[in-house]
Amino acid sequence: MNFALARYAGLYVPPAAWAINTQLGQILPYGDCSAGAGWTAVAAFTAAAFAAAGALLSRRGAVVTASRTALFLSRMSFLLGLCFAFALLMQGAATVLISPCLY
């Protein structure tokens, strides 16, 4: 495993998962309303899982580093990834609680 790349996983994976989920959140509610499915919630919780995985991967990149700068970058990536994972969990909760057919 390349730990140098793992340090950056929290900076790239969670924002990408959030951006994809935001686009799917604009598209999927129409299908959810007409078919009675819950694909928007599935997409949100899957994106949250990807964001958490990216955060944990960046946390793992901090294990083998000796540089203080690399350690800071890894910890900051971990915290940023957790923030995005939390935001995605809240978006998933909103899709579960609010019907897509209301608007």
Q: Are 102 and 32 in contact (CB under 8 A)?
A: no
Whole-prediction pTM value?
Answer: 0.87
Distance, CA of 46 to chain centre: 8
Q: Give the CA distances from residue 9 to residues 41, 44, 101, in Å, rounded to whole numbers and listed in that order.
A: 24, 19, 36
pLDDT at 100: 80
Listed residue (67, 61, 68) closest to 12, CA to CA? 61
pLDDT at 65: 66
Q: Are 47 and 21 in contact (CB under 8 A)?
A: yes
Per-residue pLDDT of the chain (103 residues; tens, 9 = 90+): 566 777 888 899 999 999 999 999 999 998 888 887 889 999 999 999 999 999 999 888 766 666 888 888 888 999 999 999 999 999 999 999 988 887 6
Structural tokens at position 76: 């900051």
